[in-house]
């Protein structure tokens, strides 16, 4: 991986990352900080958020359940107050779940994915927009998925219909919010990660009865660039958050090592 720690692409920016206690969120919070941003981190796992804040070496951490709009609003307000404003808000929470097919999916299973991914994205955008507007603009970012954002559960035995529906909703929220708030100076984008080695991915595989080591070796052999490290997904967020993406909005960036191009789904076990 290239050494990008000294470029200060986000110098002077103030960022909040919700879901920063693990995986992609933790890696992105660290990269944003390494690139000069003042970063506040939040997670439902308070200790994990504090650990990320401590690894960054500065910045506040907050406990938040992204499914509760009032908690999200309080957290975003507190982060903006502590940082002296807000320029970037990113949400990355993940629910590890094993779901049956469409027919067997329960309302609770569907609601849980919907609340954490789709509603959580809406609540983050709603709470952050007034702060971004107050500062003359900014960037809203969220996390979709390379496999499910476009394909649904294309040709994959581990069908996850609720996850796919929620990811689709996140991407539509990105397009709609980008359209409605472009004149406020707010850009809105998502990243579609490919298969990324995170604690969340490991839990999710285990719940579907898939051994992570086996899956990773199949991915390494079958996907053009194998599995991703969370730091590689963070690089996509860094670009979208930076002023080098100044004319990019309503857009989802695929960061998947060629998985989509090679029909990812057909290569899985
Ligand atoms: N890992 C992959 O292969 C992969 C692939 C495509 C997309 N994604 C997406 O990337 C995002 C991050 O996934 P990850 O693999 O880093 O997961 P992860 O489980 O490693 O990290 C997710 C973090 O979100 C936090 N969280 C969970 N529920 C929350 C809630 N209600 N409120 C606040 N925080 C909450 C967790 O405590 C955890 O710290 C997710 O949206 C996931 O769908 C991951």
Atom index in ligand 1 nearest the CA of residue 65 equals 32
pLDDT for residue 126 is more than 50:
yes
Which is nearest to 95 in space by CA: 119, 122, 61, 60? 119
Q: Report pLDDT for 2.
A: 47
Task: Tell me which of 21, 24, 255 to substitute to probe ligand 1's pocket, judged by most ligand atoms within 8 Å of the beta carbon.
Answer: 24
Give residue 267's pLDDT. Answer: 54
20 CA to centre of ligand 1 in angstroms: 9
The 10s digit of each residue's pLDDT in 166-187 is 998 999 999 999 999 999 999 9
Distance between CA atoms of 131 and 236, rounded to whole angstroms?
24
The model's pLDDT over 26-56, given as tens digits with 9 standing for 90+, comes to 999 999 999 999 999 999 999 999 999 999 9
Please give the domain boundaries of the chain with CATH numbers for all domains: 14-267 (3.40.50.720)
Strand 88-91: give its sheet, edge to edge: 61-63, 38-43, 14-18, 88-91, 138-143, 186-193, 251-255
Q: Find the 189 Cα to ligand 1 centroid distance in Å.
A: 17
């Amino acid at each position: 991986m290239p050494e990008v720690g000294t470029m200060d692409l986000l110098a002077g920016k103030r960022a909040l990352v919700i879901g920063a206690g693990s995986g992609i969120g933790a890696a992105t919070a660290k990269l944003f900080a390494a690139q000069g941003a003042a970063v506040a981190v939040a997670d439902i796992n308070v200790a994990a958020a504090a650990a990320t804040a401590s690894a960054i070496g500065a910045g506040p951490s907050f406990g938040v359940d992204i499914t509760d709009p009032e908690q999200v609003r309080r957290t975003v307000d507190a982060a903006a107050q502590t940082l002296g404003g807000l320029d970037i808000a990113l949400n990355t929470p993940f629910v590890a779940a094993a779901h049956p097919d469409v027919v067997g999916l329960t309302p609770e299973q569907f609601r849980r994915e919907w609340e954490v991914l789709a509603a959580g994205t809406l609540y983050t955008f709603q709470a952050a927009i007034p702060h971004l507007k107050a500062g003359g603009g900014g960037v809203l970012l969220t996390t979709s998925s390379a496999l499910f954002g476009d394909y649904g559960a294309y040709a994959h035995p581990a069908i996850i219909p609720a996850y796919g529906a929620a990811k689709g909703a996140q991407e539509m929220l990105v397009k709609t919010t980008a359209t409605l708030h472009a004149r406020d100076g707010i850009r809105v984008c998502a990243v579609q990660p490919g298969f990324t080695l995170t604690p969340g991915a490991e839990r999710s595989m285990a719940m579907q009865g898939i051994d992570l080591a086996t899956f990773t070796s199949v991915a390494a052999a079958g996907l053009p660039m194998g599995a991703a490290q969370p730091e590689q997904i963070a690089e996509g967020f860094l670009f979208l958050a930076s002023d080098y993406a100044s004319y990019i909005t309503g857009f989802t960036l695929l960061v998947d090592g060629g998985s989509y191009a090679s029909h990812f789904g057909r290569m899985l076990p």
